[in-house]
Chain A
Amino acid sequence: MSVGRAVRRGLAVIGILILLLIAIVVGTWIWAMNYPREATIEPTPATLSILAGPIADGPQAALLRRGRYLAVAGDCVSCHTRKGGAPFAGGLGLGTPFGLIYAPNITGDPETGIGNWTPDQFYRALTRGVDDEGHRLYPAFPYPWFTRISRADSDAILAWLKTVPAVRYMAPGNRLPFPADIRLSIAAWDGMFFRPGRFVADPKQSPDWNRGAYYVNGLGHCGACHTPLNLAGAARNDRFLQGSNLNQWVAPDLTGNERTGLGRWSVDELVEYLRTGRNAHANASGPMAEVVAYSTSFLSDADLRAAAIYLKSLKPSPDTAAAAPDPAAMRRGAGIFSDACASCHLADGSGQPRLFPPLPGSAVAQQRDPTGLLHLILAGGRTAPTPTRPAPLTMPSFAWKLSDQEAADVATYLRNSWGNRAAPVSASDAAHLRKALRLTAPLAIERNQGPNR
């Protein structure tokens, strides 16, 4: 082997290593992306009238109605609206360990929005992650899923977005450190992980299944939250829709797993959940409440049913072995449950379906990762208000009342009672989440040790 070849090979190895490093840095950033704190699950009347108000009849009406329906299906408004800001005008900051990235204005304003974008440019942005000026977009924008969107759907969305009340607003510049601030680094990431493509129907499956797959894996971008990411922040196809940690929440398993996934849900129940934010098994809270409130509650029954049929076809994720819980923790947890939880979820945990979710069989309780359950216990939760079920039912925060050990104990109890089975939860999990959510420390209450003397 000549020296030249060795040097070339060495350089190639170094080059690959550098690329890998960049990809990992970008990936870590995506992987650690926080659910935006400023978001709100209650759409304002002004937003609701844009998402669901009447569209005047006219030559373009059919196209605009279709475009709006698709934009709602893609839940564009959730990320492209900052708290208190005009719908679609952008400015919502997505938190990362390295800084903030801001969703841009996608109203029809020609200078700060997308008023001047051509259908070609918009289609390229959706499906290739490249903006009107040719800059690569950060994969916080879900183009790895949107790449399956059809050209006709893309054109309809753009046509409607241009009719949204145009707002002149420039989102703040992204604050990211080197090398993530170099958009070229995304090219490296794209090269390694992004597979541009279009949706190809599976002729062996029903039209409904295919329609569901197009929505779930395209506009719906369910996998953006529900598929775990590898070290470089790319979706792990080997664990497709098997649930993922969103830092302070968990996007649950959507496969047919009977404990952690949708195995016990019927198609009808899944449709009801997406339509109303609640069903016999669970209430949508946290990020999913927002998805329901801004998006799925407005979709047609046919589309929700198609999505449900597709999701119900997913092979169950493998069960993982769970260590048996400590009997002492279970005893403590039972006491806390009876004191703190039973007033709504009832003494036997059966709850009041659609109001206070039943706990036996609960997938939220049995996720491999207890973060979502702990989040609900410590910070509380608010169920999505929807047009058909406007009650924003809440679970109160217990952070002020339960210590880290108590929160962990009651979580362990919920995960291992009534036939539930999942790994025990540790006080350090609760402590970590309490800190991340900036929640209060529990009040120091002197426990009554016995009868007064």
Chain B
Amino acid sequence: MAMREKPVDVVLVGFGWTGAIMAQQLCDAGMNVLALERAAARDTPVNWAPTFDQDELRYRWRDHLFQNVAYSTLTFRNNADQQALPMRKLGAFLPGTGVGGAGIHWNAQIWRFLPSDFKTRSHNRQRYGAAAVADLSVQDWPVAYEDLEPYYTMFDKLCGVSGKAGNLKGAIQPGGNPFEGARSEDYPTPPLPMTYAPTLFAQAAESMGYHPFPHPAGNLSQAYTNPLGMQLGKCTFCGFCEKFGCGNYSKASPQTTIIPYVLQKANFELRTDCDVLKVERTADGRQATGVTYVDSNGTEHFQPAGIVILTAFQLHNVHLLLLSGIGKPYDPRTGEGVVGKNYCYQTMGSVDVFFEDKLLNPFIGAGSLASVIDNYNGDNFDHGGLGFIGGAYIAALVTGARPIEMTRVPDGVPKWGLEWKQAAAHYFLRNFSLSVHGSNYAQAGNYLDLDPIYRDHFGRPMLRMTFDFTPNDLKMSAYVTDKAAEVARRMGASSVHPKPRKGPFDITPYQTTHTVGGTMMGDNPTDSVVNRYSQSWDVPNLFVTGAGLFPQNAGYNPTGTVAALAYMTADAIKSRYIKAPGPLVQA
């Protein structure tokens, strides 16, 4: 029998980025908020202090900050003809765990989607005809760029994002991204200073008629105090963002931007080491009554709450909905159901670039230190006759030169032995890699459901992932990676090695942690799990945040959009839901 806890207004399931945003927004509105986090409390001085933070073996290769697959994992297969097997080692993606979630070990690349990204189906259909989207299950979002703009700006201010606007209230700004949607304000802090490789890239790209601009960065160019009074420092380019925590308080994270602020609130409580098993509902299933969780002693608790918000990582939110029986699970054979539908990823290509005559010193890096061109992203270019839709940004991204992960040698060099050693030493300071960060569009056969065989240590069915890259996305990656290689050659590189993404999807090598979809938002309950306010169609006092809301993935890093959606949801709860609880959109 579960111990019954004292009721709260709101229970948050997971305490990473969206949990922290919800806690701050709803506590400031006077609600009693409880956050349940499955793993431990974490903070800079204890978990990633600058005295020991730059330890690649510990953090990158021994998964120090990531989800522990011995505790929680999923099963995987490429398609329905295969037998899914448990993922026993992290590879392609690295979900977080513990307070701050994946917001600790991210690169802090803070993007907005293009206005056309919110109309993937109707926009492409209109421009390229019905055949362009016929093989894809892409959908329009129930929100437009303009709806999210104020919330994107809130997140920019929270993080103090460093960058250069390309479109200020409709006026194109030199030096910024001319393709972006109109911004109401410029970035809070100026762009990061560029090191050698991004500078060379920008020069080459400009000479080819492209529009290079500095990558929007949550690793800050100067000290910044956000609207909550939280302080971030200037990034010193140590090169250990990606897969690491920041010891210098210069990377935006829930810890550096929000958590100490909410911890001062009497109407906020954080309980760590509490793993939520299920969302509980009334007998008729129409209202959530709270959640059941297990603490670190194995004791089960029932936590009553007026509002339940799933603020865990996308995969866990989908899993919890399926385990709780909320919403109709997607069935690829009939095409019916919505939970788990439109699971998408990111189509990552790259170009390895080597110089003989230039020392690039790539160890001077930061998670978002890059010069970027967006000419081949989304629908920023004419796809007529190309046979695909979508695109990618091309970034001369220098996140560092971690010796185990990033010792690159040109193709053709042996994988070991004297020749490899000589090439590795010779090129260590003479190489970098262009990132080709591509969209990933939904297809009927890619989805998440409950595994019929494998169970987790609580005895619950594991989440099963069925995923492969689509021909559309592979064509896109080949095309844009080729364009990236052209820029690399213009830079005067001695050798250029394009690596477009090739199928089938392999879950073992790291690509990116941008797993999305499965709890997608939409205009009606037949093709979405939640409405435009991230509110469950089936259970109106249940909200879901995170990248699961995306109907498909655009060619950008998702966190900016994830945060903007969370702010929009918080706003709807504060301004409308608490005054008149019930569906915010009539089905």
Question: Is A389 a contact of B229 with CB atoms below 8 Å?
Answer: yes
What sequence of 0s and 1s flags, for each residue 389-412 of chain A, a beta carbon within 8 Å of any chain B beta carbon? 111111011101100000000000
A316: CB under 8 A from chain B? no
> Which B residues are CB-close (under 8 A) to A354?
223, 225, 231
| Chain B residue with the shortest CB-CB distance to A398 | B51
> Which listed segment binds B: A46-54, A176-184, A298-306, A317-325?
A46-54
Contact of B248 among A49, A340, A344, A397 (CB under 8 A): A344
Given contacts A390-B264, A391-B256, contact A352 B51 (CB under 8 A): no
Majority-rule SS of B interface residues: loop
Residue B236 lies at the interface, judged by CB distance under 8 Å to chain A: yes
CB distance from A397 to the nearest CB of B (A): 8
**Nearest CB of B to A344, in Å:** 6
Q: Which residues of A contact B263 (CB under 8 A)?
A: 42, 45, 390
- Residues of chain B contacted by A45 (CB below 8 angstroms): 263-268
Q: Is B144 part of the binding interface, using a Cβ–Cβ cutoff of 8 Å? A: no
B229–A391 contact, CB under 8 A? yes
Residues of A within 8 A of B232 (CB): 355
Q: Ordered nearest first, which 6 A-B pairs have the shortest CB separation?
A: A396-B49, A394-B45, A45-B266, A49-B266, A391-B231, A390-B260
* Interface residue A205 (Cβ < 8 Å from any Cβ of B): no
- Asked whether, in the complex, the Cβ of B228 is within 8 Å of the Cβ of A53, the reply is no
The verdict on A393 contacting B247 (CB below 8 Å), with A48-B264, A352-B233 known, is: no
Establish whether residues B261 and A390, one from each chain, have CB atoms under 8 Å apart when the complex forms: yes
- Give chain B residues whose Cβ lies under 8 Å from the Cβ of A43: 264
Counting chain A CB atoms within 10 Å of each CB, which of B44, B51, B248 scores highest?
Answer: B51
- What is the chain A residue whose CB lies nearest that of B255? A391
Chain B nearest CB from A12 CB (Å) reads 59
Instruction: Provide the bound-state CA to CA distance between A343 and B364, in Å.
Output: 13
* Chain B, Cβ-Cβ closest to A341: B50
Residue of A nearest to B265 (CB): A45
Check B45 against A380 for contact (C-beta < 8 Å): yes
Give the B-binding residues of A (Cβ under 8 A): 42-43, 45-46, 48-49, 53, 340, 343-344, 346, 352-356, 380, 382, 385, 387-394, 396-398, 400-401
Q: Does any Cβ of A come within 8 Å of B230's Cβ?
A: yes
Tell me whether B234 is interfacial, beta carbon within 8 Å. Answer: yes
Contacts of B261 in A (CB 8 A): 390
**A389: min CB distance to chain B, Å:** 5
**Chain B window 27-55, contacts with chain A (Cβ cutoff 8 Å), 1 for yes, 0 for no:** 00000000000000000110001110000
What are 16 A-B interface contacts by the 8 Å CB criterion?
Answer: A45-B263, A45-B264, A343-B247, A354-B223, A354-B225, A355-B223, A356-B233, A387-B264, A389-B231, A391-B230, A391-B231, A391-B256, A392-B260, A393-B231, A396-B51, A397-B51
Closest to A42 in B: B263
Q: What residue in chain A is nearest B268 (Cβ atoms)?
A: A45
Q: Are B229 and A355 in contact (CB under 8 A)?
A: no
B237, closest chain A residue (CB): A343
How many pairs of residues, A versus B, come closer than 8 Å at their CB atoms?
A: 76
Q: Mark B54-69, 1 if CB is under 8 A from A, else 0.
A: 0000000000000000
CB of B238 closer than 8 Å to a CB of A: yes
Structural contact, B45 and A396, CB atoms closer than 8 A = yes
Report the bound CA distance from A393 to B238 in whole Å. Answer: 19
Bound-complex Cα distance A426 to B230 (A): 38
Distance of A401 from chain B, by nearest CB (Å)? 6
Residues of B within 8 A of A42 (CB): 263
Q: Mark B239-255, 1 if CB is under 8 A from A, else 0.
A: 00000000111000000
CA–CA, A392 to B46, complex, Å?
A: 13
Question: A398 to B52, alpha carbons, bound, how many Å?
Answer: 10
Alpha-carbon distance A337/B49, docked complex (angstroms): 16
Task: Give 18 new A-B contacts, CB below 8 A, not counting A53-B266, A389-B231.
Answer: A42-B263, A45-B266, A45-B268, A340-B51, A343-B247, A343-B248, A352-B234, A354-B225, A382-B45, A390-B229, A390-B230, A391-B229, A391-B231, A391-B260, A394-B49, A396-B49, A396-B50, A400-B51
A385 to chain B, nearest CB (A): 6
Residues of A within 8 A of B249 (CB): 355, 391, 393
Is chain A's interface secondary structure helix, strand, loop, or mixed overall?
loop
- The answer for the CA separation of A280 and B223 in the assembled complex, in Å, is 13
- Nearest residue (CB) in A for B236 is A343
Query: Could you say which of A46, A343, A353, A398 has the most chain B C-beta atoms within 10 Å of its C-beta?
Result: A343
Measured in the bound complex, the distance between the Cα atoms of B248 and A346 in whole Å is: 11
Return the chain B residue nearest A381 by Cβ: B45
Q: Are B50 and A343 in contact (CB under 8 A)?
A: yes
The interface residues of chain B lying within 8 Å CB-to-CB of A388 are 229
Closest to A50 in B: B266
Chain B residue at minimal CB-CB distance from A396: B49
Distance between Cα atoms of A340 and B49 in the complex (Å): 11
How distant is B486 from chain A, measured CB to nearest CB, in Å?
Answer: 38
A45 to B265, CA, bound (A): 5
B282 to chain A, nearest CB (A): 31
Residues of chain A lying within 8 A (CB to CB) of residue B247: 343, 396
List the A side residues contacting B45 at CB < 8 Å: 380, 382, 394, 396
> In the bound complex, what is the Cα–Cα distance between A393 and B266 (angstroms)?
21
CA distance A355 to B220 in the complex (A): 13
> CA of A396 to CA of B268 in the docked complex: distance in angstroms?
28
B51 and A401 form a contact (CB under 8 A): yes
B225 contact set on A, CB distance < 8 A: 354, 389
CA distance A53 to B267 in the complex (A): 12
- B192 smallest CB distance to A (angstroms): 15
Instruction: Kindly name the residue among B49, B225, B263, B264 whose own CB sees the greatest number of chain A CB atoms within 10 A.
Output: B264
Asked whether B230 lies within 8 Å of A346 as measured between CB atoms, the reply is: no
B residues less than 8 Å from A48 (CB atoms): 264, 266
CA gap between A392 and B234 in the complex, in Å: 17
Q: Is the CB of A46 within 8 A of B223?
A: no
Complex CA–CA separation, A382 to B49 (angstroms): 13
How many Å lie between the Cα of A356 and that of B45 in the bound state?
A: 14
Q: Cα distance A346–B235 when bound, in Å?
A: 10
Which residues of chain B are within 8 angstroms of A382 by Cβ–Cβ distance?
A: 45
Contact residues in A for B234 (Cβ distance below 8 Å): 352
Give the chain A neighbours of B49 by CB distance below 8 A: 394, 396-397
CA distance in complex: A355, B248 (Å): 10
Q: How long is the Cα–Cα vector from A180 to B13 in the complex, in angstroms?
A: 55
> CA A344 – CA B231 in complex, angstroms?
14
- Name the residue on B nearest A388 (C-beta): B229
Are B229 and A346 touching (Cβ within 8 A)?
no
Q: How far is the CA of A453 from the CA of B248 in the complex (A)?
A: 35
Q: Which residue of B lies closest to A394 (CB)?
A: B45
Q: In the complex, what distance in Å separates the CA atom of A388 from the CA atom of B230?
A: 9
Nearest Cβ in chain A — how far from B82, in angstroms? 46
For the complex, give the distance between the alpha carbons of A340 and B248 in Å. 12
Per-residue CB contact flags for chain B residues 425-437 toward chain A (1 = under 8 Å, else 0) read 0000000000000
A236 to B465: give the CA distance in the assembly, Å: 74
Report yes or no: B233 in contact with A355, Cβ–Cβ below 8 A. yes
Question: Within 8 Å CB of B238, what residues of A?
Answer: 343
State in angstroms the CA–CA spacing of A382 and B44 once bound together.
Answer: 11
Q: In the complex, what residue of chain A is closest to B50 when comparing beta carbons?
A: A343
Q: Which of A48, A352, A401 has the most CB of B within 10 A?
A: A352
**CB nearest neighbor in B for A392:** B260
In contact, A390 and B228 (Cβ under 8 angstroms)? yes
A343-B50, A354-B223, A391-B249 are contacts. A385–B233 as well, Cβ < 8 Å?
Answer: no
User: Which chain A residues lie closer than 8 Å to B265 at the CB level?
Assistant: 45
CA–CA, A356 to B228, complex, Å?
19
Query: CB-CB < 8 A to B260: which residues of A?
Result: 385, 390-392
Chain B residues whose C-beta falls within 8 Å of the C-beta of A398 in the assembled complex = 51
Closest chain-B Cβ to A386's Cβ sits at a distance in Å of: 8
Contact status A352-B230, CB under 8 Å? no
| CA A344 to CA B261, docked complex, whole Å | 23
B236 to chain A: which residues have CB within 8 Å?
343-344, 346
Residues B267-288 near A (CB distance < 8 A): 267-268
Q: How far is the CA of A430 from the CA of B228 in the complex (A)?
A: 38
Smallest Cβ distance from B252 to chain A, in angstroms?
A: 12
Q: How far is the CB of B541 from chain A (nearest CB, A)?
A: 25
- Shortest CB-to-CB span from B54 to chain A, Å, is 9
Contacts of A394 in B (CB 8 A): 44-45, 49
Taking the closest CB of chain B, its distance from the CB of A399, in whole angstroms, is 10
